[in-house]
Amino acid sequence: MTYQELYQSGELLQRIREAFRRLKACDLCPHDCGVNRIRGERGICNAGLLPRIAAASVHTGEEPPISGSKGSGTIFLSGCSLSCRFCQNFPISQLGNGQDLSTRVLAEKMLRLQSQQVHNINFVTPTHYLPQLLAALWLAIPLGFKLPLVWNSSGYEKRDALQLLDGVVNIYLPDMKYADDEVAQQLSRAPGYRDINRTAVAEMLRQVGHLQLDDHGLATKGVIIRHLVLPGELSGTRETLGWIASNLGRQTHISLMRQYFPAHRAPDTPGISRKITNGEYDRAEGWLEEFGLENGWVQD
């Protein structure tokens, strides 16, 4: 099924209705806040009814199959269901920077990016705006929207919410941040992160499978897992990579990120107040090799 087929059959509209129903006692993400976002109440993510957008622009810094030669049409959503102490985008994710837009204006932004020849539309931190993004897509399709959709998320998501995206999202780009719930709670206030995240990523893989590229090396479908190496192995890199190899398959594409620096509240947080060392990153690369995970990207 493609999103065009879901649109034609009326299934997309049904899913939009179901997704908006969930906003009445919001249970879109694992926090299950239960607030009525239709009436303007806000939960942990601080998202209201209208989608708040921090930027919609052409981005060339994603993984090569996402950015390609012409860039990814990146739409940064404001707010987040995680509260990472080290978030490099905290003005957007935690301070709420951005502008509230109607879904129609959001659809227009998607179409404008398409007219700039980007390879895809890349929703960044989209989990808490799932209904609004589906609605924007529904408005954009009859106006000629046809690009692949990228769901670029924290991976702290519920399976039943992700199922509303089955056939809609072409490429999933989730984080796998932690292998230890206590660390996830301390650093990101994300209870039960490990199993919730693993269940979410497995659902993503069920929907779209492993990464597929076209003749130009551009992603058409599939999953790329991002893993940011934290100081002192707080990211549980070895355990996470081992889990991926055993449960998702060694052909899984992994983007092993080394750009950690102590942003936001990290300078005052024991354990994460420094960059990672070359040795820590080299060790993480060694674990990729140990588990036979050959697909993906490492950073110099």
| CA distances, 165 to each of 6, 7, 202, 261 (Å) | 10, 13, 14, 33
* Residue of the chain from 43, 68, 174, 222 that contacts ligand SF4 (CB under 6 A): 43
Contact residue for ligand SF4 among 12, 19, 47, 121 (CB under 6 A): 47
Residue nearest to ligand SF4 (CB): 43
Residue 33 near ligand SF4 by CB under 6 A: yes
Residue 219 in contact with ligand SF4, rule: CB under 6 A: no
Q: Is 226 in the site for ligand SF4 (CB under 6 A)?
A: no
Among 27, 108, 166, 285, binds ligand SF4 (CB under 6 A): 27
Beta-carbon count within 10 A of 21 CB: 11
**Using rule CB under 6 A, residue 28 touches ligand SF4:** yes
Q: Closest separation between CB of residue 140 and ligand SF4, Å? A: 23
Give yes or no for residue 26 binding ligand SF4 (CB under 6 A): yes
Least separation in angstroms between CB 166 and ligand SF4: 19
Q: Is 89 in the site for ligand SF4 (CB under 6 A)?
A: no
- Contacting residues for 274 by C-beta, under 8 A, at least 6 apart: 231, 262
Binding residues vs ligand SF4 (CB under 6 A): 26-29, 31-33, 35, 43-45, 47, 81, 128
